[in-house]
Chains A and B, each alone.
Chain A
Amino acid sequence: MQTIESKAETRTNAPSTFEIVTRKDFSDVTYLLEVRHPLMAKAAKPGQFVIVMLNEHGERIPLTIADFDRVKGTITLVIQAVGKTTKEMQLACQVGTRLYGMVGPMGIPSPISHAKKVVCVGGGLGVAPVFPQARAFKDAGAYVIGVVGFRNKDLVFWDDKFRACCDEFIICTDDGSTGIKGLVTEGIKQAIAKHSDIDEVVAIGPPIMMKGCAETTRPHNIKTMVSLNPLMVDGTGMCGGCRVKIGGQVKFACVDGPDFDGHKVDFDDLMTRLRRFTEQEKMALDRWLETCRMMNLPASSPASPVEPKPKGPRKAANSPARKS
């Protein structure tokens, strides 16, 4: 695992230039970026997200704030390279480079209730966004049971960090290579079997996993909050692209959410709507991979800090920031 830090000083209140100060690679598809933005680090609360633009031609993509450091003035994003933008970021976002834009914190912060006993569930990449909530519940004095799930042992990340804010910690893997064998729903079932007094479950991960969690808790009538991730454009409630169905009502996830009552969410609708642009997404990715191949860029071997060529596959807007 590679960690690189830049030591540029923090200037509170100055407009952010969205400089990347740390990068870690958890696997060949998952990476962490720590971005300097002192004002946002001050404002961020668990459950909120940002919208990032890599460069002038880029798409605006929503990413959950996985951590924030008010002292250092940074916020942390954990990203899975699934398509054109996230793969391009994986290549271009090195320590010292800048994002073209980052706006937030967006969305209504997760309500950290007075629950005495909560289960915080993270599925795969969802471990990162659920972490600030687990920590907030812990700080509020709750008994926190962490349940995290990964496909296999090699994909596990932040287990130490997560464990540190939990009273109990259950790790699940699809193949049983570490922890219990099975999905996170198995972990939830175990927790429910052991504790009859769970007040709340918070689950973040792929829609199918959140749906599973909501179904697991429904018979027990345990309040279950999920964080929805529909496609977004502006993130300010202006376009309605992020609309989701909650208990038969239309809500805009970016301003009315992103957290909703999992027992009321129409997950099938969400999953269908996530497929809106499948064809175009594939086309953009193929085209980009082809350009990378022609330019001999390592489109998917990010673990070593590649020095991006000055002219990337696309006019890179990320000029290196000063390095001290």
Chain B
Amino acid sequence: MAKKKTIRTIPQERTPMPEQDAQRRAHNFEEVACGYPIEAALNEAERCLLCPDEPCIAGCPVNIDIPGFIQKITEKNLRGAYDIITATNLLPAICGRVCPQENQCEGVCTVGDTLEPVAIGRLERFIGDAAIAEGWVNIPYIEPSGFKIGIVGSGPAGMACAADMAKAGCDVTVFEAFHQAGGVLKYGIPDFRLPNEVIDAEIANLMKLGVKFECNTLVGRLFTIEQMLDELSFQAVFVGTGAGYPSMLGVAGDSLNGVLSANELLTRCNLMRAKEFPDYDTPLPPAKRVAVVGAGNTAMDAMRVSLRLGAEKVYCIYRRSRTECPARAEEVHHAEDEGVEFHWHTNPVGNLDDGKGNVRGMRCIRMELGEPDDSGRRRPVPVPGSEFDFECDLVVYAIGTNANPIMGQTSSLKLNKWGYIETGENLATSVAGVFAGGDIVTGAATVIEAMGAGRKAAASMKAYLGIRATSVADLVGAASTGKLFGIDVKERNFARIRAA
């Protein structure tokens, strides 16, 4: 290895990622961030100090061996880097694009103390994309274990659990209610942030591992979880059905035509391809002025989709300030560059009716921070007399979701008081052999957390089924990290390594 790098010797500037021009991209659905070319990736990889205490690994929800894979990049060994990442993260091309790295690995990167942190997410994406382009996939030697596993929901939680169980030699079937697999990645996150080809490539990899996908299958109603365990003879089941059930504001005019949830807007546009109406049959309401309520990732996606669908004005209505906005910093920047108008400290009071049942505008009120409450948090309170109206022809609610009721209606799974599935530390539910993870357990969270939960549930499932050995690929790089998928070494059930 070359002489030790220091904060002075590394490239000082974070390597920029080529992006589509804001004016142009606001009107097309092509990907905004174009990815690193090889030179850029090599340059950025040089910025990593290979810190001995590896703070970034601890910052990553699935503890990817970050310095390990970055070092492989500096050695131009991209396949080696891919092997290290996929030892813990199955979907690098997806996570590299959508993870909130600024709050995770990059948030704690040593370089970040002095300069801009290493662009870990961009490097991860670079490796993920290289793998897709080269057709790499780590198919380990798999000895059939004879177990039949059912997975409900094909979002990141279900995909991650499916992959681990397939690698453990199980016969895995994923059931999905929609006609296409992918969960929120497919129906929610738009193409310009996460192209469908990337998701399909990752799904194809799962199929190469032997995972079967059964779309058009509404578990709970077509057959119940309990039936899966007896009549359909699955030995274990994982439930990763996601959050769903969008909240409505509960103000006047909620049911006017032109008021819809971000989930509906995004599903119509992304999954049903309403953006190509009438070539595709599903319509979307045409809108010139769009008000989006909320400021999370979902809200940012709704705003940027609205621009691309031809809106002239897009307003973001959020009752708190920019610093409290839950969306990724990068997404807020992107939305701003593309022309979204942000109205911080503003709360909707009601939607205005045009007399024919359509929305014609919105009434809002200004907010200010009140006295700290019991928890010490200063809640926004309305400023008396500050109501104002503005015109818009579409109102999109992106104010969060509640638990989807179908599992509760159709199974004996114990739910918590909010309707999410209750699980123990090992993600086992109240029904023996049934595990759950992802948004249906935690409420709306992130892709990487859902994936981590899927893997953790898979580990518990293996312990439950008494599967001891696992293939080598799972353990690449594991030795270098104290914790794997957030599980301590001593808890790991794959005690022995079986060589291919």
Contacts and interface: CB of A to CB of B under 8 A. Distances in A.
A101 B245 CA distance: 23
A283 B281 contact: no
A257 B261 CA distance: 19
Contacts of A102: 216
Given A272-B357, A284-B283, A233 B267 contact: yes
Given A237-B404, A238-B263, A283-B278, A105 B255 contact: no
Interface residues of A, number: 49
B260 A238 contact: no
How many residues of B sit at the interface, in one of the four size bands?
A: 35 or more
Contacts of A237: 244-245, 404-406
A238 B244 contact: yes
Given A102-B216, A239-B261, A269-B255, A256 B282 contact: no
B281 A39 contact: no
B254 interface: yes
B175 to A, nearest CB: 10
B255 A250 contact: yes
A308 interface: no
A236 B282 contact: no
Interface string A162-177: 0000000000000000
A15 interface: yes
A282 B245 CA distance: 30
Interface stretch (B57-65, B67-75, B218-226, B366-374): B218-226
Given A234-B178, A238-B404, A255-B404, A243 B248 contact: yes
Nearest to B265: A239
Interface in A167-196: none
B264 interface: yes
Interface string B264-299: 100110001100011111111100000000000000
A280 B287 CA distance: 13
A260 B404 CA distance: 19
Contact of B283 (A235, A239, A240, A281): A281
A40 interface: yes
A103 interface: yes
A242 to B, nearest CB: 9
B33 interface: no
B409 interface: yes
Interface string A243-287: 101000010100110000000000001001101110011011001
Given A53-B179, A239-B261, A103 B218 contact: yes
Given A84-B281, A280-B283, A59 B272 contact: yes
Interface string A51-74: 001000111100000000000000
Nearest to A252: B245
Contacts of B248: 240, 243, 250
A147 to B, nearest CB: 30
B268 A233 contact: yes
Contacts of B242: 238
B257 A236 contact: no
Given A40-B222, A102-B216, A255-B405, A284 B278 contact: yes
A140 interface: no
Given A238-B267, A243-B248, A48 B221 contact: yes
B222 A239 contact: no
Contacts of A48: 221
Nearest to A83: B281
B246 interface: yes
A234 to B, nearest CB: 6
A59 B282 contact: yes
Contacts of B218: 103-106, 235-236
B254 A275 contact: no
Nearest to A43: B222
Nearest to A242: B264
Contacts of B223: 39, 43
B196 interface: no
A33 to B, nearest CB: 16
A100 interface: yes
A57 B405 CA distance: 29
A85 interface: yes
A101 B216 contact: yes
Interface string B441-480: 0000000000000000000000000000000000000000
Contact of B246 (A103, A108, A240): A240
A68 B331 CA distance: 49
A238 B188 CA distance: 11
Nearest to B247: A240
Given A102-B216, A273-B257, A275-B357, A39 B264 contact: no
Contacts of B272: 59-60, 233
B217 interface: yes
A241 interface: yes
A321 B360 CA distance: 49
A287 B278 contact: yes
B215 interface: yes
A276 B281 contact: no
Nearest to A266: B255
Contacts of B279: 57
Nearest to B244: A238
A201 B180 CA distance: 39
B214 interface: yes
Interface in B99-138: none
Given A53-B179, A238-B267, A283-B278, A255 B406 contact: yes
Given A57-B279, A280-B283, A241 B260 contact: yes
Interface in B209-238: 214-218, 221-223, 232
Contacts of A277: 283, 285
Given A241-B260, A252-B245, A273-B255, A57 B280 contact: yes
A253 to B, nearest CB: 12
Nearest to A100: B179
B221 A43 contact: yes
B177 interface: yes
Contacts of A239: 246, 260-261, 263-264, 267
B182 to A, nearest CB: 13
A61 B33 CA distance: 35
A252 to B, nearest CB: 7
A272 B256 CA distance: 8
Given A103-B179, A237-B406, A240-B248, A280 B268 contact: no
Contacts of A18: 216
A256 B408 CA distance: 12
Nearest to B176: A103
Nearest to A281: B283
A255 to B, nearest CB: 5
30 contacts: A39-B222, A43-B222, A84-B281, A102-B216, A103-B179, A103-B216, A103-B217, A105-B218, A105-B222, A233-B264, A234-B177, A234-B187, A236-B178, A236-B404, A237-B245, A238-B242, A238-B244, A239-B246, A239-B264, A240-B245, A241-B264, A245-B255, A272-B357, A275-B257, A276-B285, A280-B278, A280-B283, A281-B283, A284-B281, A284-B283
Given A39-B223, A103-B216, A250-B248, 20 more contacts: A39-B222, A53-B179, A103-B218, A103-B222, A106-B221, A234-B177, A235-B218, A238-B245, A238-B267, A240-B248, A240-B264, A241-B260, A255-B245, A255-B409, A256-B405, A272-B255, A275-B257, A276-B257, A277-B283, A280-B277
Interface pairs A-B: 5 shortest CB-CB: A280-B283, A272-B357, A239-B264, A59-B281, A238-B244
